[in-house]
Structures are given as structure tokens and as C-alpha cells.
Chain A
């Protein structure tokens, strides 16, 4: 097999999961540390800070989502396998928007979540507003994922 098509395609899918996963892991990790601090002081805020901690977890799921959809279409879980290197690189490129936006927005959403956790610890009644700030960051991951999904669905070789 001299053609590397399948390799590049799977590499792209792998990157989606890996980078999205890293983004979420870092984000949830940061928020988790802040949450633990708040709960030390006031265990009653557990459910609120837990929700905030979980906000950056979506990027990992989005990466996973794109990877599964790509696997289902390009011959890993179903569909026709990619044959030429060129096609493989196209699939790889299609995976990139999701992979990279999820990495960066996951980390930054984590940081925003940390700030929001600080907000909730001082003013628990502002909980709904505190959720909105991290949710803003996620928009750009969603746009990246959207383009990847549309590309995966509509690419024709």
C-alpha cells in the first residue's frame, strides 16, 4: 500500500479527539481546581460550581462527534474507505477546524469558567449570568465543528 489516504484520514479523526480532548481536559481541570476551592469554603455551592466546571467538557465531545461522523463516512465504521493520498488529505483538512477550535476554546472556556466560579462564590444569585460568560467562548468551537461536520458530510471525491 503505497497510498497514504487512509492514514491521513484517520490521522485527522484522531486529531479531532486528541485536541478536543486536551482542550476539555485542561479547561475542566482548571475549573475543577477553582471549584474545589469554593467547596472547601461552602459545600452548599457544590451543584452550582459543578455545572460551571462541566461547561468546558463539550469541546471533547464535539471532537469525538466529528471523529465518529468521519469514521462512519470514510470507511472505519462504515462507508467507503479513502483510497488516494489526495482524498486522505482532504479528509484531514476537513477535520482540522473542529480539532483546533476545540483545543483553544476548551482552554479559554476553562479560564472563563474559573472566573465565573469566583463570581458564583461571592454572589451565588448571579448564577445564570455566570453561565453565560463561558458559553460565549464555546460559540467558536461550535462554528469550527459545524464546518467540519458539513465538510465531512458533503465532500465528494
Chain B
């Protein structure tokens, strides 16, 4: 439960050893490289130009990655259902080195794949074009004259189409209306289609009269065909179809060529990782200050790794290393470390924002409340067991699983345990499955009595429980704030900002709990003697007055102080709404239980008939799967909300930079 202490580190070494040293640092992966000293003498130290090398490696890496994508497109890798849990394959350092010896080959293969893909796309464009032509030639198939015919010795020949559906008579009529044909000429329709509104026409006239003839045709919207046909259309079609077959064959060959690199996938992956790591190294290298014979590199290392890290470097190379504490006003990068129980919720903290300097890592205390809140919202023992079982099995089955995923699964595993616990407390096991099944199918009702109480019989009691959990949760937040203030030795702030609030809240809650109204609503409460009541009222008033006069203590102006104090007191309304916000525990808890019961009820309706058992099983499986899925989502979302808004709101800001060590950022394989 802590933010790891960081050390600043400065390594000075010989230039001739800079590459092995950088590789060592990259392999260790515990140092974030960044500039922590500004007063560098620019004359003695200069940066090296590594852009060209860096971008060459980057290009290699991304080309190979693209080639892998293309390969996967044509020859998808067979994936099992659980493959995403498996994590990356692990290689020893020697094996990896052996594989990437052939990295030049990988780059060539990637190049071939990329080129082939380009050809493939060009071929596809040709095929599309040809298909378009084949479609467009359809109306002209009736024409049995070669497309290039312009006429005979004495006549001229035209063909084309009108975007209109016409019969032969209508055509003549239209021409008569718009102009005249020369004497020895005619235009015949050889194709017309109502759907596409197209009429294809072949016309001929005497040589020398083309102009008048064409003008007459054009006046009714005659246009030349959209495609070029050299021979008789039918022949053209045959030719094109034959070409299409060849194209398809060529395309298949290209695809096969890409597919043939299937066995190179592994080499490609290793090489991509290799090039990526090189590029990262050159990026760092370009940022280093180097003199003629030396260079130095600075950054942050977590304190717990610092010693072994320094020892290793000093043993292997000629280096001078100094480590320093991070200064008061410096922001060091943040790395969290927690025990097995609270580590899983680190992801939740991370997504809200890592702790800033001097802030406490909230994971530890949050973990407990996270599991409890989740459990109360889902509160069904059977669902909890399923969650626990599934997560546990996955974690056990795939030890190499990626870290983030592993954390999430662990978190749900703990949530599952809590859900089971609260399910038993409230008597939910697939809703009321046990009584329903025993009554419908075995004739004798067996109850599963809740260990504590049944929320559906006593919803007010669960509401009270929810609100109490909420109060406890938020007071926990307030305590953390107090702890942080005490740690910073700000005792006055702790007393004014936390102490007075706790007095006020304690007083108000006690007053409420001892009131008659509270007792009638919840049929529970506390009884306080007269003296006790007076003490409580006194505490409340002291708390309120304390807040009123001290929350603006940083202001000199007294009027302003009081105004700020009033504003702080107004915060009571915030506490009220925050506490009421926890009533969602009741709503979500009831929703799981009631819908599960409805599922059981529907399933058991035909219990006495022949199909009773199979119908029940089907309805049971589908219904409970859906109910579990939707309520799991609800519980997850609302637990996050309660943690982020109600709990973090009391003490936590976040906004720290995460620790990003210089390491092997491998995408495909893990090297050990």
C-alpha cells in the first residue's frame, strides 16, 4: 500500500561502452530516462544526431507490423477461445538473438508482402473495372456488327442509346417532332428496357448526310455508348470473360504468394520487436549528452531496485553513478506497490489518476470497500461463486497472462468472494432457485434461510445498512485525509478540517438516530439519556461553530472568513446527498434478487407438464446468464462511481505522472 520511493540517478560512463550500457538499462527496465539536470555545459557536451537511424528502425518495425497484418488478413491465425488470456510467448535471450539474426530476411519478406499486397490491390481494381464493363455491355449484345464499324462504301453507321424507354413507332414520332431524317436512312431499336429506361439504337444513312442524320438523332437525346467495343459485342464479352478468369487466377497466385510466408510469422514478430527496441534505444541515445570520451544519462529509479541496479552496472562496466533523493519541490514519476489483496484495484486507481507527490496511495483501503460495495450490489451467492470460479480458473490456467488483465481478473475474483458472502447473508442463490426447484420438481419446499435478513421482506433495513456502509466509507475517506495531514505535520489543519467535521457529523447522526421520526421509519435507532442528548447537542454546536470560524482561517478579513465558514457548513448538503447516493446498494441489490426470482418463476411455470424440466433448464440458463451479466455491469459501474465520487472526493486528487521505465516494449514476444 504505497507509492514507491524514487531515487534520482546519474550515470557517467565511457562513450565506447554506451551501447552495451543502454542495452543493459533497457533489459533491466527499472529506470525512467529523463533530464533532471538543466545546467549542462553545452560546449563540452553535445547531443548526437540519431534521427536517421531511429527512423530507419521505426520504418522497419512498422513495415513488418503492416506485413503481419496483411498476412493475417489472408491467412488468419487459428485462435482458440482463450487465446487472449495466454499472453505473449516467452523466449530466452539466446533464442531471441538466434531468431533475430535473420532480421534482414524478415525485412525482405515484409517488403515482398507489402509489394505483393499492392499488386493484389491493383489486380482487384482491374477486376472491378472489367466487371463494370461486362455489366455495361449487356444491352449491346443484340448488335451483331463489330463495334468499330463506321459504315460501308456508301453508307455510314451509327449506334448509341437514348435514356428513355421507346418503341419503334415512338422513336419515329419523336424524330418527326424534332427534325427530319435524310431520305435513305433509318434508325432501328435493337434493345430497350423499361427498368433502366434505356433504348439502344443502330442507325445508318448515305455517306455525306451524316451531319443531318446525327443532328436529328441528337435532338432526341442520342448518345454514344459508354464503353468501347472493338469487335462484335458478343465476342468482346467472351474476350472479357476470359480475361476475368485469368485475372482471378493471377489474384489467387498473389494471395498464395502472401500465404506462403505463413511460416515466417514468428520470425517477423521477433524482428518487429527487435527493430522497435532498437528504435527506442536510438531515441534515448539521441537525447544523451556526450563529450569526446564520455556520456551521461540521468533519470529515476525506484529506491528498492536502485542498489542492485547500480551494483550490476558498476560490476560490468566502467561507470560513475550517483544517486540522490528526489527534492521537496520535484514531481517524481509514480509507481504503486501493493500486497496481493489490494494490488488488483490499482487499475481502478490508475484510471482515476495516480497519486500526486505527498499523496497516499489509496489502493489499500479502497480495495476493502470496493469488494464490499460490489458484493452488496450483486449479492447472489451463486453468481459470486461463478465469478470466483471463472476468474480463478483463468488465472490458474494461464500463468503468462498479460499483467493488466491478470489484475482485473483478480479484482473480480475477490469481488466474487464478497458477492458470495453477501448472497449468503441475504439468502440469494440464483434468487430463490433452491425453494422453487425443490417445490416444483421434488414436491417439498426447501428454504435457504438468509444468515442475516431477507432484503425483500425488510427493504428499509437494507436501506439503513446501505446508508451506514456509506457513512463508514466516507468517514474512512475523511480519516485518510486526517492521516495525510498528520503525516505532513499539519496538526491544526487536521483538527479544523477533519476534527470539526467529525464532531458535527457524529452529533447530527446521533441526533437523527435518536429522533422519533427515524425510529418510525427504520424501526431502529438509539436511545440516549437526557444528559447524553445535551452532550451530543454540545458536540454538534462546537463542530458547527468550529467550521464556521476556522475554515476561512487563511483569510485576514473576518467577514470573508465567516462567509467561507458558511460555505463550508453548506457542505452538509453534500454529505447528505453523498450518503443518499449509497441507496443504490439497495436498488441494485434488490434488482438482482427480484429478476432472478422472475426467471425462476417463469421457468417453473410448466413444471408439472412433460416438458417441465427441459424448459426450466433453458429458461434458467438464459435468464440467469442475462441477469448476471447486466447486474455485474451495473455493480462494476456503480462501485467505481461510489469510489471515485463519494470516497475519493473526501481526500484524493490524483494527477501524478506514471513511471515509464526505459525497457523492452515488446508487442509479440517476451524475452527473459
Residue numbers of A with Cβ under 8 A of B are 51, 54-55, 57-58, 61-62, 64-65, 68-69, 77, 126-129, 131-132, 135-136, 138-139, 142-143, 145-146, 149-150, 153-154
4 closest A-B pairs by beta carbon, nearest first, are A128-B351, A135-B641, A142-B584, A142-B587
- Cα–Cα distance between A27 and B150 once the two chains are bound (Å): 66
- Is B463 in contact with A65, judged by CB distance below 8 angstroms? no
19 contacting pairs across A/B (C-beta < 8 A): A54-B633, A58-B630, A61-B591, A61-B630, A68-B594, A69-B594, A127-B351, A128-B351, A129-B352, A131-B637, A132-B644, A138-B638, A139-B581, A139-B584, A142-B587, A146-B583, A146-B586, A149-B459, A150-B459
- Cα–Cα distance between A16 and B496 once the two chains are bound (Å): 47
A154 closest partner in B (C-beta): B460
B598 within 8 A of A: yes
Complex partner residue of B460 from A55, A145, A150, CB under 8 angstroms: A150
- Cα–Cα distance between A55 and B460 once the two chains are bound (Å): 27
Nearest CB in chain B: distance from A52 CB, A: 10
- Is A143 in contact with B580, judged by CB distance below 8 angstroms? yes
- Is A132 in contact with B640, judged by CB distance below 8 angstroms? yes
Chain B residues closer than 8 Å to A51, beta-carbon distance? 633
Complex partner residue of B641 from A57, A136, A145, A150, CB under 8 angstroms: A136
- Is A65 in contact with B352, judged by CB distance below 8 angstroms? no
Chain B residues closer than 8 Å to A145, beta-carbon distance? 587
- Cα–Cα distance between A61 and B599 once the two chains are bound (Å): 13
Chain A residues closer than 8 Å to B459, beta-carbon distance? 149-150, 153
Chain A residues closer than 8 Å to B640, beta-carbon distance? 128, 131-132, 135
Nearest CB in chain B: distance from A55 CB, A: 7
A141 closest partner in B (C-beta): B587
B348 within 8 A of A: yes
- Cα–Cα distance between A64 and B627 once the two chains are bound (Å): 13
Chain A residues closer than 8 Å to B634, beta-carbon distance? 58
Nearest CB in chain B: distance from A150 CB, A: 7
Residue numbers of B with Cβ under 8 A of A are 348, 351-352, 456, 459-460, 463, 580-581, 583-584, 586-588, 590-591, 594-595, 597-598, 601, 630, 633-634, 637-638, 640-641, 644-645
Nearest CB in chain B: distance from A94 CB, A: 13
Chain A residues closer than 8 Å to B598, beta-carbon distance? 68
- Is B591 in contact with A132, judged by CB distance below 8 angstroms? no
- Cα–Cα distance between A146 and B351 once the two chains are bound (Å): 30
- Is A135 in contact with B595, judged by CB distance below 8 angstroms? no
Chain B residues closer than 8 Å to A54, beta-carbon distance? 630, 633
Nearest CB in chain B: distance from A25 CB, A: 15
Most buried by A among B348, B460, B590: B590
- Is A128 in contact with B587, judged by CB distance below 8 angstroms? no
B456 closest partner in A (C-beta): A69
Nearest CB in chain A: distance from B79 CB, A: 14
Nearest CB in chain A: distance from B638 CB, A: 6
- Cα–Cα distance between A146 and B597 once the two chains are bound (Å): 19
- Cα–Cα distance between A63 and B597 once the two chains are bound (Å): 16
B644 closest partner in A (C-beta): A132
Nearest CB in chain B: distance from A115 CB, A: 16
- Cα–Cα distance between A153 and B581 once the two chains are bound (Å): 20
Chain B residues closer than 8 Å to A131, beta-carbon distance? 637, 640
- Cα–Cα distance between A57 and B634 once the two chains are bound (Å): 10
Chain B residues closer than 8 Å to A58, beta-carbon distance? 591, 630, 634
- Is B460 in contact with A153, judged by CB distance below 8 angstroms? yes
- Is B637 in contact with A55, judged by CB distance below 8 angstroms? yes
B466 closest partner in A (C-beta): A146
Complex partner residue of A149 from B351, B587, B637, B645, CB under 8 angstroms: B587
- Cα–Cα distance between A57 and B114 once the two chains are bound (Å): 45
Nearest CB in chain A: distance from B357 CB, A: 22
- Cα–Cα distance between A122 and B590 once the two chains are bound (Å): 36
B459 closest partner in A (C-beta): A153
- Is A146 in contact with B587, judged by CB distance below 8 angstroms? yes
- Cα–Cα distance between A126 and B351 once the two chains are bound (Å): 7
- Cα–Cα distance between A61 and B459 once the two chains are bound (Å): 18
- Is A142 in contact with B583, judged by CB distance below 8 angstroms? yes
Complex partner residue of A65 from B583, B595, B638, CB under 8 angstroms: B595
Nearest CB in chain A: distance from B86 CB, A: 17
- Cα–Cα distance between A157 and B594 once the two chains are bound (Å): 24
